[in-house]
Amino acid sequence: QVIKCKAAVMWEANKPFSIEEVEVAPPKAHEVRIKIVATGICRSDDHVITGGLVMPFPIILGHEAAGIVESVGQGVTSIKPGDKVIPLFVPQCGECNNCLSTKGNLCSKNDIGSAAGLMPDGTTRFTCKGQAVHHFIGTSTFTEYTVVHEAAVAKIDSAAPLEKVCLIGCGFSTGYGAAVQTAKVEPGSTCAVFGLGGVGLSVVMGCKAAGASRIIAVDINSDKFAKAKELGATECVNPKDFKKPIHEVLIEMTGHGVDYSFEVIGHTETMIAALACCQYNYGVSVIVGLPPAAQKITFDPMLLFTGRTWKGSVFGGWKSKDSVPKLVADYMKKKFVLDPLITHTLPFTKINEGFDLLRTGK
């Protein structure tokens, strides 16, 4: 059956979301149709609106969510109607070289790089006003119902509170994993975290969980500092308070630079600052923030020649289908908190207000 429901459709760039009635087609073979219960708002969604992440329009955005399976297509065996699930913007097909490698997690079946905005078979499951509407990175969660490929959904604990664990679909896992998985932060080490949004705060939590002795939080919005300290930051620094470049400030604070730095904003200048502030011989810097389209980095290669490591991290380095259920189980065992990452809870129809709160740093 086709389901008619509400969705927030983005018809063109730099315009508000339009709440529309859409038709959601039934799942085809190896697909799952999900009733979305809760979805988070992430800066990556906003990058599509502003053109920083280039995607085709019209599109249904959203990629950080949790819901309940409504129906499954032919051949789906691992998931059944009624299961609680989290859609995965990084799928796990289990067959590509990244899935088969112990070092990789960015399944080649992802739609981040190609930006086709379609299901794996090259078609869409959404129609609005007689027009086909694109999917967003295989998830599209700003809708009451969505369809995802079986490789892009994880079954989770049926007791999990969906309005909280939806954050494990992107923000929390991305930040926490960047620290514990990608950087492999060690006990007693010193870390710097650039950017204190939901993902940056999750990096702080990961550094603390890994036993870092100093966690220096960096943001140009000092309103973010209290929460960063609550979650484990030992010091907070606002680059606007200094005349000298922030990497020099951090090197002075630590004597030799930090062991690990994380860029959780998506600006090229802060990526270079994060690299420059880590220890020149064995420091590790991780890019977590989504880089804007068409921007290039120019930097002194001596920064790397001396031994630093510069890494990227997508979805915190987690193999999604394997790790998301375990992260939900850890949350249920109170191994980490999610409540401090939730600043507002709004009804779906107020999604534009939610994006205004994101853009104003609230």
Q: What residues are annotated to the active site?
A: 42, 44, 47, 63, 170
Token reading at 220: 């140009």
SS3 210: coil
Q: Are 267 and 192 in contact (CB under 8 A)?
A: no
Place of tokens 């090259």: 122
Q: If 0-12 CB within 10 Å is exposed, 13-18 middle and 19+ buried, where does residue 214 land?
A: middle
Residue burial 161-182, b: 16+ Cβ < 10 Å; e: rest: bbebbbbbbbbbbbbbbbbbbb
SS3 131: strand
Sheet holding 126-128, edge to edge: 59-60, 3-10, 18-24, 126-128, 131-133
Could you tell me whether strands 59-60 and 3-10 are parallel, antiparallel, or unpaired per DSSP bridges? antiparallel
Q: Are 174 and 316 in contact (CB under 8 A)?
A: yes
Instruction: Compute the CA torsion angle 197, 203, 209, 210 (nearest 10 deg).
Output: -160
Degrees to nearest 5, angle at CA 206 with 204 and 211: 100
Question: What is the per-residue DSSP string for 28-87?
Answer: -TTEEEEEEEEE---HHHHHHHHTSS---SSEE----EEEEEEEE-TT--S--TT-EEEE
Q: Are 257 and 193 in contact (CB under 8 A)?
A: no
Token reading at 151: 């490789």
CB count, 10 Å around CB of 349? 11
Measured distance CA(29)–CA(27) in Å, rounded = 7
User: Distance of CA 327 to CAs 4, 122, 181, 331, Å?
Assistant: 33, 31, 13, 6
